[in-house]
Amino acid sequence: MNCINNVVIIRYGEIALKGKYVRNRHEKTLILNIKSMLNTCGIKYEDIFRDWGRIYIKTADPRAIEAVVKVFGIVSASPAVTCEPTLESAASVSAEIGRDLIKEHESFAIRPRRSGKHSFSSQEIGVACGNVVFEHIKDKNPRVDLTSPDKEIFIEIRQNHGFVFTDIVYGMGGLPLGTQGRMVALVSGGIDSPVAAWLMMKRGCEIIPVYINNQPYSDETSRYKAMECIKVLQSWAPERPFTVYEIQDGESLSAFLSNCDSRYTCLLCRRMMYRIAHSIMNKENACGVITGSSLGQVASQTAPNMMAETSGIHLPIYHPLIGFDKTEIVDIARNIGTYEPSVLPGTDCTAVPEKPSTSAKISQIYHEEEKIDIQELLKHALSGVKMVNLL
């Protein structure tokens, strides 16, 4: 009998809470995204189909599970063996699986589940299959323990299919990428901004990464780190190639350094970044700008400064990390693969003043900006836009 996993069961969470129309649309997008991920990873499959509350991929490729749990919207997945939707078939497959799974003297439990119309209850699946497994591996002296077993065998009997599996691999949750509009994501190559962009992708947003190049105040290493982080983010959005913008904005920094109070350099620089991002957002018909700001993490990220950063600029701005601790951000960065590129050796921006203002007044910022021609600097920066090819 063939007990090779031949299907991947996919479970999703928040999508199932939606109304019929939205749910149907989200499920379709999710299937599209699963196909893209499998294609990109070179994983062959026979079919992908939906059944109430589940998606199934017909594939025997063991790499499929690792690939699909990277697809946003998936809560968990299990490689499984299919069987007929009968007690006999489920029991016989479970027995085969049990023989490999359960070692000498180990305890086990059957975790049964049922949907559709059947002549047996969930409990009856558990008893019938448990008995058959027990008899089949009696020589190993097994024990049944439903509370804290060494091994578990999950059996799902649905209307037209049955499944037996032993593993539940957790996914990232969220919503299917592409269901929640598009946003510009400012990516600097530090630890935070890629995590912020990723969190919005997890919630279904497509992103348009923007890297603001401050050369000669930053160097090629910063640019390299940012692009490597963007490549990692791209791996979470297979077959949806990013449009990546790179903007040279060193001239603005030069203007601030020559003309303005140096305590406000970072703030003036951020305001220029937001103006650039806003302009790209409008051009791309996107819905917002994502930043990696979190409150109080660095000297310039105070509440008064953050208020001054956007005053008079008026853009829909999102700071997904605003309530996060640094350790929480680092944990996510490690988990999603952006940590390594973002901590590569690099030079910090050389324009950062020794004593940045921590409680900038908006009137003061306006006063500083009057000393320079902001619109001209913005026009200049935007005229030098480069589209980056990540390959």
Which region, judged by CB under 8 A, interacts with its own copies, from 82-90, 257-265, 267-275, 310-318?
310-318
Q: Is 161 in the site for its own copies (CB under 8 A)?
A: no
CB of 326 to its own copies, least distance (A): 6
Applying CB under 8 A, the span of 32-40, 106-114, 268-276, 289-297 interacting with its own copies comes to 289-297
179-238: contacts with its own copies (CB under 8 A): 179-183, 196, 199-200, 202-205
How would you write the chain as a 3-class SS string? Answer: CCCCCCEEEEEECHHHHCCHHHHHHHHHHHHHHHHHHHHHCCCCCCEEEEECCEEEEECCCCCHHHHHCCCCCEEEEEEEEEECCCHHHHHHHHHHHHHHHCCCCCEEEEEEEECCCCCCCHHHHHHHHHHHHHHHCHHHCCEECCCCCCEEEEEEECCCCEEEECCCEECCCCCCCCCCCEEEEECCCCCHHHHHHHHHHHCCCEEEEEEEECCCCCCHHHHHHHHHHHHHHHHCCCCCCCCEEEEECHHHHHHHHHHCCHHHHHHHHHHHHHHHHHHHHHHCCCCCEECCCCCCCCCCCCHHHHHHHHCCCCCCEECCCCCCCHHHHHHHHHHHCCHHHHCCCCCCCCCCCCCCCCCCCHHHHHHHHHCCCHHHHHHHHHHCCEEECCC
Please tell me whether residue 22 binds its own copies under the rule CB under 8 A: yes
User: Does residue 299 interact with its own copies by CB under 8 A?
Assistant: yes
Among 314, 375, 389, 391, binds its own copies (CB under 8 A): 314
Contact call for residue 328 and its own copies (CB under 8 A): yes
Among residues 148, 323, 345, 389, the one that binds its own copies under rule CB under 8 A = 323
| Binding of its own copies by 310 (CB under 8 A) | yes
Closest to its own copies by CB, 216 or 316: 316
Assess 307 for contact with its own copies (CB under 8 A): yes
- Judged by CB, which is closer to its own copies: 43, or 197? 197
Q: How far is the CB of 13 from its own copies (least distance, A)?
A: 6
Is there binding between residue 306 and its own copies (CB under 8 A)? yes
Applying CB under 8 A, the span of 42-50, 84-92, 314-322, 378-386 interacting with its own copies comes to: 314-322
CB nearer to its own copies: pick between 173 and 353: 173
Kindly state the smallest distance separating residue 66's Cβ from its own copies, in Å: 21
Contact residues: its own copies, CB under 8 A: 13-14, 17, 19, 22, 173-175, 179-183, 196, 199-200, 202-205, 287-288, 294-297, 299, 302-304, 306-307, 310-312, 314, 316, 318-328
